[in-house]
Structure 1
Amino acid sequence: MSIRKSQKEATRQRVLDAARDLFETQGYEETTVREIARRAEVAVGSVFTTFASKGDILSQVMADRLDELYAELDRVIPHLRGGVADRLRSLFAIHFAFETRRTKLFLAHIAAAFDWTLSPSTRPYGRNPRLRQVIRDCLIEGVNRGEISAHLDLEALLDALMGIYAWTYRLAAWEGADADQMSAVFDRQIGLLAEGFLPRA
């Protein structure tokens, strides 16, 4: 690696580290690119040389954390047992356990999903294709096993699950709920959804 490329990568990492800390402590909306640059000890121009926007910085901060989550999902998925509702509960329990390690950062990630100024390249909560595919695969397996009606709109069900999951984080924001408490609430919601997606006799 050339010296210039090495310096650029070091700058990029400082920006990501600074942004992660600021997003978690101050929130996404309250954090400015100028503050990120100051915390990273780089020029504002250096931030924009590496990232197109603050939204892109948040996307990369979150993406850099996901290798660990993917590894856990890849390890667990082949061993999931029970009906589709139980498998969904297990998958989302893993998500809750992972994201509550940095709850405020994940809340910032959810909040950014409602920023209408984000560029198409930015990936806030809900736009991550790999995470969506994990849930989609579980639903497709449910259809194949006869546990979900073949006539159901799986994308609508996927969106409902993602929406309920994100909304459950209000308990962390408002009441300081932990992963187990949110999983218990989400488990009941999965049960209600399951009543609707089961095949009709």
Structure 2
Amino acid sequence: MSRLREQNKQRTFEQIKQAARTLFERKGYAATTTREIAEEAQIATGTLFLYVQDKAELLILLYADVFGDLIDETFATVPEDRPLPDILLHIFGPFFELYGRHPENARHFLKELLFHEGERRQHQQVTKQNEELIRRLIQIVQRAQERGEIRQDVDPHQAAGSFFAIYFAAVTAWLGSFLVMNSASLGQLRSLFELQIRGMLPPDAESAIQQAMR
């Protein structure tokens, strides 16, 4: 009986998430009410609040669900034979594409993530996912060092953190309309990565670039 109850609870929770996903995509996050989510999920509004505190929690949960798969997919298909800027765009480009599908919802997601209560389980889940992304980025940096693309004295942890910071600042500025960038053209993001990487180049590589520019 206990197992059956858990299965029913999980089924209801999936119905709630699917209902929220449908309405957020159709109407937008701001225009959707918790009552509408409950009706779409075919449950009472009171039942909805047994599973989530509010619709903001649902929004974060939906993005967190996608992030896990996105991280696994992008790192599983990293083009090892490409230069580091190409690899970084391969990793971060899909996140821009995700946000670009529903920019208004993405703005609300980042707002809730950055400026509201951070003790919710969903906030902690996104934090852990970001930490996992950076952990895998560290391995990317280490392999770039092995290929001679980055100096050996560069701390892989700091380099990975700086690449993530560039991505997060760019996507935040883009969604906040402070930066002209769209999900279809990531040339500006690549330029930011290349500028950062230039400071990590081995001396021989830097000399070659200067020669090419003359």
Whether the 8 Å contact between 2:15 and 2:41 is mirrored in structure 1 is: yes
Matched letter for residue 160 of structure 1 = S
The gaps in structure 2 that reach 5 residues or longer are: 205-214
Find out whether 1:93 has 2:96 as its counterpart: no
Per the TM alignment, residue 53 of structure 1 is displaced from its structure 2 partner at its CA by 6.3
Whether the 8 Å contact between 2:60 and 2:113 is mirrored in structure 1 is: no
Whether the 8 Å contact between 2:74 and 2:90 is mirrored in structure 1 is: no
The gaps in structure 1 that reach 5 residues or longer are: none
Counterpart residue number, 1:72:
73
Whether the 8 Å contact between 1:19 and 1:57 is mirrored in structure 2 is: yes
Counterpart residue number, 1:20:
21
Per the TM alignment, residue 13 of structure 1 is displaced from its structure 2 partner at its CA by 1.8
Counterpart residue number, 1:178:
182
Whether the 8 Å contact between 1:110 and 1:166 is mirrored in structure 2 is: no
Highest RCO, 1 vs 2 (Cα 8 Å, sep ≥ 6): 1
Whether the 8 Å contact between 1:84 and 1:147 is mirrored in structure 2 is: yes
Name the SS for the 1:118 alignment partner: coil
Counterpart residue number, 1:8:
9
Correspondent of 2:165 among 159, 163, 166: 163
Whether the 8 Å contact between 1:80 and 1:87 is mirrored in structure 2 is: yes
In the alignment, the residues of structure 2 paired with residue 74 and residue 187 of structure 1 have an alpha-carbon distance, to the nearest angstrom, of 18
Whether the 8 Å contact between 2:174 and 2:180 is mirrored in structure 1 is: yes
**Quick one: structure 1 residues 143 and 176, their matched pair in 2 at CA, closer, same or farther if it must change by over 3 Å?**
closer
Bigger Cα Rg: 2
In the alignment, the residues of structure 2 paired with residue 63 and residue 41 of structure 1 have an alpha-carbon distance, to the nearest angstrom, of 24
Per the TM alignment, residue 186 of structure 1 is displaced from its structure 2 partner at its CA by 0.3
Matched letter for residue 113 of structure 2 = A
In the alignment, the residues of structure 1 paired with residue 33 and residue 200 of structure 2 have an alpha-carbon distance, to the nearest angstrom, of 44
In the alignment, the residues of structure 1 paired with residue 157 and residue 113 of structure 2 have an alpha-carbon distance, to the nearest angstrom, of 18
Correspondent of 2:151 among 139, 149, 152: 149
Per the TM alignment, residue 119 of structure 1 is displaced from its structure 2 partner at its CA by 0.9
Query: Could you state the TM-score of these two structures normalised by the residue count of structure 1?
Result: 0.72
In the alignment, the residues of structure 1 paired with residue 102 and residue 152 of structure 2 have an alpha-carbon distance, to the nearest angstrom, of 38
Whether the 8 Å contact between 2:150 and 2:200 is mirrored in structure 1 is: yes
Matched letter for residue 183 of structure 2 = A
Q: CA RMSD in A?
A: 3.6
Query: Could you state the TM-score of these two structures normalised by the residue count of structure 2?
Result: 0.68
How many residue pairs match? The answer is 197
In the alignment, the residues of structure 1 paired with residue 82 and residue 184 of structure 2 have an alpha-carbon distance, to the nearest angstrom, of 20
